Amino acid sequence: MKGACSEGAEGSVAVGGGPFASTGLAVSRPPPPHNPESHQRNFTATACPHPNPQRSSSEVMSSVITAAIGAPAALARIFLSPIFSGPLLFSITFYPDAVRSAIGFVADKLLPHQLATTFLHYASPLLLSSSTTVTVLQAAVVLGVLRRANQMLNTMASNSWRFGPAPGWDWPNEIAVVTGGSSGIGKGIVQRLSALGVRVVVLDVQKPPADLSVNPRVSFYRCDVTSSQSVAAAAAAIRSDIGQPSILVNNAGIANPMPILQTQEAFLRKIMGVNLMSMWFTTQQFLPDMIKQDKGHVMTMASIASFVALPTAADYSATKAGALAFHESLTSELKHQYKAPNVLTSIVHPHFVRTPLLEGISARLEKAGVQLLTSELIAEEAVELIKSRRGGQLVIPGSVAAVSGIRGWPTWLQELVRDTVGKTTAGL
């Protein structure tokens, strides 16, 4: 039986499992090394043509989240930065005349002459002499220091309470496996890891593009990630041909926006297999050696939908919420069950991403003021986290990171966000 292909929400392609793909494993031996095909192996019964792109409701998140959370969060980060508030407080306290002169210079350059004169005569002295201004800046400095301390504790907590980076990494001697690495975010991760000198293995049903095929540090294994047998066969070949991977990026994903009452069982089983169950299959193959060596990194590609369930994307949102649960359980097991504190775990939650899935509606999103991220940006930040030799949770852009705590918000505020998102996504 042939496998059914679908475009991934992260720009990757994965094959449908269960009743939609055979478990037969067609293994072809690689040609000579100088041939680009020498980096390609086949572990699925059929290659699937690239499907027509479909938009993902997870990526059509709503500009309201960005506007309502992103802009205030960005301003708060600036104001609460001790680098900004500290020198300003010091200057107003000890050098008010210098601050007044600087304000006058800026106002004269940016404002009309009459308005600048009025501002300098009334507003500037009031701001500089007000005890409220000093109090607010003092509070900003204290909160900024606490915020920095909180960030440091977050980093340490995500890395088994280790202050520095994990030891023992040497990029030219590392092997990474990236599922769904032939396109989109996965392709960008493959390119950046190989540029570091890492040997990268792509598991996908879609043949990689020419620029990856000719890369001597990139190998391709055609694999149905929804089949444990297919993944096991590919893993055995990787260990035999290349070695034991120390990095696993679970990136493959699919989406097909559909109301709950119209979702077919066939697709429901497929999306659960690609987006969620595949993480168990790949991790079960590659994690044991990481535990044995007490060195490795398992990265999970999730979504903002991990936190905010979307209308017409209950299945996709469920898989991304499941991906977050998988990441959290894996992190805890590595620390407390397997005693492998140097095996890192990380999870990435992208917001709007410009991929083929948004073709046809990207213009409308941008017209509505939505700024689309690029798959290159997501890949760059993901690989930077790997390079840091630290684990953690990465929300992109960081300005919407506050949405990760939505479950702790008052119910009325949660519903306001969901209602706004629902109305926006329903019209796209």
Task: Tell whether the torsion through CA atoms of 86, 92, 98 and 100 is positive or negative.
Answer: positive
pLDDT at res. 116 = 60
Q: How far is CA 60 from the centre of its chain?
A: 16
* Full pLDDT tens readout for the chain, 428 residues: 333 333 333 433 333 333 223 333 333 333 334 444 445 667 664 333 334 334 344 344 434 444 444 556 666 667 667 777 778 777 777 777 676 677 667 666 676 776 766 655 555 565 555 566 667 767 777 777 777 777 777 777 777 777 787 889 999 999 999 999 998 899 999 999 999 999 999 999 999 999 999 999 999 999 999 999 999 999 999 999 999 999 999 999 988 888 999 999 999 999 999 999 999 999 999 999 999 999 999 999 999 889 988 788 899 999 999 999 999 999 999 999 999 999 999 999 998 777 655 555 566 556 655 677 889 999 999 999 999 999 999 998 887 888 888 888 899 998 988 887 777 666 55
How far apart CA 106 and CA 66 sit, in angstroms, is: 30
* Phi-psi domain of 427 (left: phi exceeds 0; alpha: psi -120 through 50; beta: other): alpha
Rg (CA), the chain: 25
- Annotation marks residue 207 as catalytic: no
Catalytic residue (choose from 316, 339, 367, 387): 316
How far apart CA 284 and CA 268 sit, in angstroms, is: 23
Nearest Cα residue to 8 out of 291, 395, 411, 303:
303
How far apart CA 197 and CA 169 sit, in angstroms, is: 12
Write the DSSP symbol of residue 23: -
Give the tens place of pLDDT for each residue, 237-269: 999 999 999 999 999 998 888 899 999 999 999
pLDDT at res. 241 = 96
pLDDT at res. 217 = 96
How far apart CA 18 and CA 171 sit, in angstroms, is: 36
* Contact between 220 and 194 (Cβ < 8 Å): no
Nearest Cα residue to 48 out of 234, 176, 182:
182
Task: Tally Cβ neighbours within 10 Å of residue 190.
Answer: 31
Residue 367's identity, in one-letter code, is: K
Which tokens sit at 28? 């072809």
* Contact between 178 and 245 (Cβ < 8 Å): no
Q: Is 265 helix (H, G, I), strand (E, B) or coil?
A: helix
- Annotation marks residue 95 as catalytic: no
Task: Tally Cβ neighbours within 10 Å of residue 94.
Answer: 9
Question: Beta strand pairing status for 199-204 and 175-179?
Answer: parallel
Task: Tally Cβ neighbours within 10 Å of residue 119.
Answer: 16
In terms of residues, how long is the chain?
428
HEC letters along 388-418: CCCCEEEEECHHHHHHHHHHHCCHHHHHHHH
Give the tens place of pLDDT for each residue, 359-399: 555 665 566 556 778 899 999 999 999 999 999 999 988 87
Is 52 exposed, middle or buried (CB count within 10 Å of its CB: 0-12, 13-18, 19+)? Answer: exposed
Q: Is 355 helix (H, G, I), strand (E, B) or coil?
A: coil
How far apart CA 72 and CA 66 sit, in angstroms, is: 9
- How far CA 347 is from CA of 60, 177, 247, 316, 394, in Å, comes to 20, 16, 13, 16, 6
Catalytic residue (choose from 207, 270, 295, 320): 320
Nearest Cα residue to 271 out of 23, 12, 15, 54:
15
Please, which residues have CB within 8 angstroms of residue 387's CB and are 6 or more apart in sequence? Answer: 196
Nearest Cα residue to 25 out of 51, 49, 3:
3
- Complete DSSP assignment for 21-32: S-----------
* Contact between 392 and 154 (Cβ < 8 Å): yes
First to last CA, the chain: 35
Please give the domain boundaries of the chain with CATH numbers for all domains. Answer: 5-58+170-426 (3.40.50.720), 63-157 (no CATH)
Phi (first) and psi of residue 167, to 5 degrees: -85, 165
* Contact between 231 and 44 (Cβ < 8 Å): no
Range 164-180 burial, b when 16+ CB lie within 10 A, else e: eebeebeeeebbbbbbb
Nearest Cα residue to 53 out of 362, 350, 314, 306:
362
